[in-house]
A and B are shown apart, each in its own frame.
Chain A
Amino acid sequence: MAAPLALVLVVAVTVRAALFRSSLAEFISERVEVVSPLSSWKRVVEGLSLLDLGVSPYSGAVFHETPLIIYLFHFLIDYAELVFMITDALTAIALYFAIQDFNKVVFKKQKLLLELDQYAPDVAELIRTPMEMRYIPLKVALFYLLNPYTILSCVAKSTCAINNTLTAFFILTTIKGSAFLSAIFLALATYQSLYPLTLFVPGLLYLLQRQYIPVKMKSKAFWIFSWEYAMMYVGSLVVIVCLSFFLLSSWDFIPAVYGFMEHPIFFMFIQIAIIAIFKSYPTVGDVALYMAFFPVWNHLYRFLRNIFVLTCIIIVCSLLFPVLWHLWIYAGSANSNFFYAITLTFNVGQPRNSSVCTQEPTETRTTCRDRVCAKHCCCMLGGSAEVGGVVSAQGVSATVKHTPATLLPSLIPAVLWLLTWTYWPEKK
């Protein structure tokens, strides 16, 4: 299996290298869909030159990257293109191995349940054979590397690619069961863009599951492990933030950078999708990461409805972004509402597309009764809602509907976030 992966990597790197050499690279790196003020390469360069001049990069309102990124590129600025190609390749490799491992886990569980004869007879078609699962990791890597959105972000040298790499490594280490590394990568990802904070809960749940620790309030092991994981996470976060402080010897970067169960892996996927939908300054690079996960849930495609309409929405929107942007900024004949409307439409299409298995199954009667499907349905949306916001809101609540225990921890980030903002010292 290594040969096809290597082939995909070679193709992906060739495409990127060719695009870096073409005149398109400059055009792409200016597109609003691909880079945001938070992830623009231009601003990294600006920050670097400010640093070289001995000015704090955060003194103006231009630079919003984290100190570690700026120091990383301080040494690697000449190899920036190479760095971005490598990060993309690393993301794909991490996803590949993560999914390979995850498949093994799923298969073992399935086998166990089959032997115990706990499946209802009509779910046979949902049980996955090793043949079907064999190519899923490769497909995931393929989906990530050859997705036009990923290629665009890479060619634009959007630092979003680095965030994706960190998140991918977090997923890999979590699935491999290494709590320490998982905490470090989660801390790094949180440090980069704050939003991965919400991945703490699914990560913790998966690690608990791996060690057969039940999620019970009374269980001692549960609290001990949670405490350990939280400490590792907070510890790494503190180390990283302090490191940044010592690099710049000021706390300027914090306001500048952060101004703004049962199936933990699935929860993680939905969480990444929700982050991509609701984050401020979203770019197509964020969408690319969770799109890579589609093959993992491909056995649930049969529950998808309106897939044709949704795929068309995504494609049409991707094409209309530049057209309406042109009309607004360049031709001056349309205004910002045109562009805004298309971003809304894109977000309506997104959750419907992203939640591959979030559709209520047509045959509720046959599927929801048995266990396998009930588990997969736990994240399914009420099928009647079609509007983006409503869908996503329902997605959040429905995700945890069947596992009330997960509801509570998922509120913690929200509460933390609120507290942070309420008691944050006013900046002048």
Chain B
Amino acid sequence: MGLLSDPVRRRALARLVLRLNAPLCVLSYVAGIAWFLALVFPPLTQRTYMSENAMGSTMVEEQFAGGDRARAFARDFAAHRKKSGALPVAWLERTMRSVGLEVYTQSFSRKLPFPDETHERYMVSGTNVYGILRAPRAASTESLVLTVPCGSDSTNSQAVGLLLALAAHFRGQIYWAKDIIFLVTEHDLLGTEAWLEAYHDVNVTGMQSSPLQGRAGAIQAAVALELSSDVVTSLDVAVEGLNGQLPNLDLLNLFQTFCQKGGLLCTLQGKLQPQDWTSLDGPLQGLQTLLLMVLRQASGRPHGSHGLFLRYRVEALTLRGINSFRQYKYDLVAVGKALEGMFRKLNHLLERLHQSFFLYLLPALSRFVSIGLYMPAAGFLLLVLGLKALELWMQLHEAEVGLEEPGGAPGPSVPLPPSQGVGLASLVAPLLISQAMGLALYVLPVLGQHVATQHFPVAEAEAVVLTLLAIYAAGLALPHNTHRVVSTQAPDRGWMALKLVALIYLALQLGCIALTNFSLGFLLATTMVPAAALAKPHGPRTLYAALLVLTSPAATLLGSLFLWRELQEAPLSLAEGWQLFLAALAQGVLEHHTYGALLFPLLSLGLYPCWLLFWNVLFWK
């Protein structure tokens, strides 16, 4: 690394970075995007393979034949549920006990921070029912979970039926080495969260629940089941969990193995997997699936109740039965066999699933991109920020050196003005104000909802969303606020220093986000990087301002919603898109408070203030 120490070569390098900065930035950005698009082509996507030895070599024979029984259970369950209007706890307890499980219930209650209009709930209280099948071959040190989340609408009856029938079948087998927990939760994810918190004896979201009476050791894996019809045409699998966490790839491989064995049709993101990867069609279809996965993962929402298990380091996925207009249909026996096979293989596990990938992207069910191959895409995008920051640093530094050089001859040189001090002091005000804006965005909407409802004719949920938007827009007035505070002693140095800090701040945040949730990091980098690199108080300011507004975090969210529906082949109209946007905002805030999703605090406390800094740079006087 003599390159940075040798003054001659160092200067040459500096000149190169300065002169070629713009082309290098463009090249780097284009390379990042191109790399991402190239991920779907075969050298970069690989076939999935089973890494876990305990699940690979041994085949199991599925004997589940309780289709009729499952349907009967489902009918009974639906009837009881209709009668009581809630989860028929007593019936479930009775039935679980009759098939030979140890049955326990857990009641929970939670007052949401504001009414949830999508699910129509505010004060929630419910009961979870779970039965434990004790393994005859081992002490209760490890367990597997099969869970069915039941919402307020009367769906998922068939899933409960299948769960009970599987429990009855499993009870008769002698090979279990891990306890199996059959869990039915009320109020879908809220119930799951309450149960998981009580199981691990923690309280992270302020849920009130009764303690669990029965436990079954450390949970090794969990499968969530959603099924609302007696027959299915395909099974859709969801992997994306809370904050973009993914289960170990081996669990997905396992599911795929049994789908293939039973001849079941399975889909990912609702898309069939392309057969032909040699021509252009396959990769293009893969790209659609990949983009859908990126959008879903970036949202950080738990897409199914499996998403909450991942937080407790339990590998989990959700299976959804889809009943479409296809001709060929499968009955519950086929689904039950696939589940039986999966559980028997999981039963073989000697240690936690850890052999395969945890960080991956899926362009199709049988193809994946590993972290080593997709990370460069984000790396190239962040390099743009690095290059720009380096350029600014050198320009700032050169201004100092330039002052110094004329007096470089021997003799007492003029002491330099403390330029750095001025530069740093002028940054404090914009940094503090934008950070305070972010804090207000995070705290005020929920805190001030009652005040808002008293003074304006809106409901609480609307009040929260509208306050969010109002504070967000009010942040744009920031430049006018800071002008009085900021001293304008060195105008050009001022904005350059501010932009330098903002660039580093943005690069840091995006880097950290990309490490934990690649999709979110990449999506934000794609949108925010060009505007961040361009922002400066000279040149076509209106154009820059428009670009900056279009790439702000909220605009990115709106754009993602349109792209999402476009890819699902259900395009949105503008009005629908706006409604969906408002609902998404409310859901984002709610999910932060109920499940601990991090997207909302991340955007409001991190990226929004950072974006405001660029806005401030743009309108620097």
Q: Using CB atoms and an 8 Å cutoff, list the residues of chain A in contact with chain B.
A: 121-122, 124-125, 305-306, 308-309, 312, 315-316, 319-320, 323-324, 326-327, 330-334, 360, 362, 383-387
Query: Chain B residue with minimal CB distance to A360?
Result: B5
Given A320-B512, A331-B313, A333-B359, the answer on whether A386 and B1 have CB atoms closer than 8 Å is yes
Contact: B508 with A384, CB < 8 Å? no
Inter-chain CA distance A316–B389, complex, in Å, is 14
Q: Does B99 contact A (CB under 8 A)?
A: no
Q: Does B324 contact A (CB under 8 A)?
A: no
Given A124-B413, A362-B7, A384-B2, the answer on whether A323 and B515 have CB atoms closer than 8 Å is yes
Q: Which residues of B (279-328) have their CB < 8 Å from a CB of A?
A: 313
Q: Does B516 contact A (CB under 8 A)?
A: yes
Inter-chain CA distance A371–B410, complex, in Å, is 17
Ranked nearest first, the 5 interchain pairs of A and B with the lowest CB-CB distance are A333-B358, A386-B1, A383-B5, A332-B313, A124-B412
Chain B residues with CB below 8 A from A334, complex form: 358-359
Number of interface residues of B (CB under 8 A): 27
> Do most interface residues of chain A lie in helix, strand or loop, or is the interface mixed?
helix
Instruction: Encode contact with A along B483-513: 1 for CB under 8 Å, 0 otherwise.
Output: 0000000000000000000001000100110
Chain A residues with CB below 8 A from B390, complex form: 308
Least CB distance from A204 to B in Å reads: 34
Per a CB cutoff under 8 Å, which of A122, A125, A326, A385 touches B516?
A326
Per a CB cutoff under 8 Å, which of B7, B415, B515 touches A327?
B515
Q: Does B220 contact A (CB under 8 A)?
A: no
Inter-chain CA distance A308–B387, complex, in Å, is 12
Chain B residues with CB below 8 A from A124, complex form: 411-413
Per a CB cutoff under 8 Å, which of A323, A333, A386 touches B245?
A333
Inter-chain CA distance A306–B4, complex, in Å, is 8
Inter-chain CA distance A331–B310, complex, in Å, is 8
Q: Does B393 contact A (CB under 8 A)?
A: yes
Contact: A331 with B516, CB < 8 Å? yes
Q: Which residues of B (381-412) have their CB < 8 Å from a CB of A?
A: 389-390, 393, 410-412
Inter-chain CA distance A327–B354, complex, in Å, is 13
Per a CB cutoff under 8 Å, which of A121, A308, A320, A331 touches B393?
A308
Least CB distance from A383 to B in Å reads: 4
Least CB distance from A322 to B in Å reads: 9
Least CB distance from B14 to A in Å reads: 11
Given A315-B508, A320-B515, the answer on whether A384 and B5 have CB atoms closer than 8 Å is yes
Inter-chain CA distance A6–B341, complex, in Å, is 71
Inter-chain CA distance A175–B7, complex, in Å, is 38
Given A306-B4, A331-B245, A362-B7, the answer on whether A319 and B508 have CB atoms closer than 8 Å is yes
Contact: A327 with B411, CB < 8 Å? no
Chain B residues with CB below 8 A from A324, complex form: 515
Inter-chain CA distance A124–B410, complex, in Å, is 9
Inter-chain CA distance A238–B103, complex, in Å, is 66
Q: Using CB atoms and an 8 Å cutoff, list the residues of chain B in contact with chain A.
A: 1-2, 4-5, 7, 10, 245-246, 313, 352, 354, 358-359, 389-390, 393, 410-413, 415, 504, 508, 511-512, 515-516
Least CB distance from A174 to B in Å reads: 31
Contact: B4 with A386, CB < 8 Å? yes
Least CB distance from B222 to A in Å reads: 14
Inter-chain CA distance A324–B2, complex, in Å, is 30
Chain A residues with CB below 8 A from B352, complex form: 332
Inter-chain CA distance A209–B516, complex, in Å, is 55
Query: Chain B residue with minimal CB distance to A333?
Result: B358
Inter-chain CA distance A320–B313, complex, in Å, is 21
Interface hub of A121, A308, A326, A384 (most chain B Cβ within 10 A): A308
Chain A residues with CB below 8 A from B413, complex form: 124-125
Interface hub of A121, A319, A331 (most chain B Cβ within 10 A): A331
Contact: A332 with B1, CB < 8 Å? no
Query: Chain A residue with minimal CB distance to B7?
Result: A362
Least CB distance from B422 to A in Å reads: 16
Per a CB cutoff under 8 Å, which of B5, B415, B516 touches A323?
B516
Chain A residues with CB below 8 A from B512, complex form: 319-320, 323
Inter-chain CA distance A332–B413, complex, in Å, is 58
Inter-chain CA distance A367–B96, complex, in Å, is 86
Chain B residues with CB below 8 A from A332, complex form: 313, 352, 354, 358
Query: Chain A residue with minimal CB distance to B243?
Result: A331
Inter-chain CA distance A323–B514, complex, in Å, is 11
Chain B residues with CB below 8 A from A306, complex form: 4
Least CB distance from B232 to A in Å reads: 31
Chain A residues with CB below 8 A from B516, complex form: 323, 326-327, 331
Inter-chain CA distance A385–B504, complex, in Å, is 26
Chain B residues with CB below 8 A from A125, complex form: 413, 415
Contact: B5 with A316, CB < 8 Å? no
Query: Chain A residue with minimal CB distance to B5?
Result: A383
Seed contacts A124-B411, A323-B512; 4 additional CB < 8 Å A-B pairs: A312-B504, A320-B511, A331-B245, A386-B4
Chain A residues with CB below 8 A from B515, complex form: 320, 323-324, 327
Query: Chain A residue with minimal CB distance to B310?
Result: A331
Chain A residues with CB below 8 A from B415, complex form: 125
Interface hub of B5, B504, B508 (most chain A Cβ within 10 A): B5
Interface hub of B390, B413, B508 (most chain A Cβ within 10 A): B508
Chain B residues with CB below 8 A from A386, complex form: 1, 4-5
Chain B residues with CB below 8 A from A308, complex form: 389-390, 393
Least CB distance from A301 to B in Å reads: 9
Inter-chain CA distance A324–B516, complex, in Å, is 8
Per a CB cutoff under 8 Å, which of A315, A320, A331 touches B504?
A315
Inter-chain CA distance A387–B1, complex, in Å, is 9
Chain B residues with CB below 8 A from A305, complex form: 4-5, 10
Inter-chain CA distance A332–B221, complex, in Å, is 14
Inter-chain CA distance A122–B407, complex, in Å, is 11
Inter-chain CA distance A323–B518, complex, in Å, is 13
Query: Chain A residue with minimal CB distance to B511?
Result: A316
Least CB distance from A185 to B in Å reads: 35
Question: Can you list 5 A-B contacts with CB-CB less than 8 angstroms, sorted by A residue number?
Answer: A121-B410, A124-B412, A124-B413, A125-B413, A334-B359
Inter-chain CA distance A124–B352, complex, in Å, is 67
Chain B residues with CB below 8 A from A362, complex form: 7
Chain A residues with CB below 8 A from B10, complex form: 305
Inter-chain CA distance A362–B7, complex, in Å, is 7
Inter-chain CA distance A326–B7, complex, in Å, is 41
Inter-chain CA distance A319–B513, complex, in Å, is 11
Inter-chain CA distance A125–B409, complex, in Å, is 12
Query: Chain A residue with minimal CB distance to B394?
Result: A308
Chain A residues with CB below 8 A from B412, complex form: 124
Chain B residues with CB below 8 A from A331, complex form: 245, 313, 358, 516
Query: Chain B residue with minimal CB distance to A129?
Result: B415
Contact: A316 with B508, CB < 8 Å? yes
Inter-chain CA distance A124–B413, complex, in Å, is 8
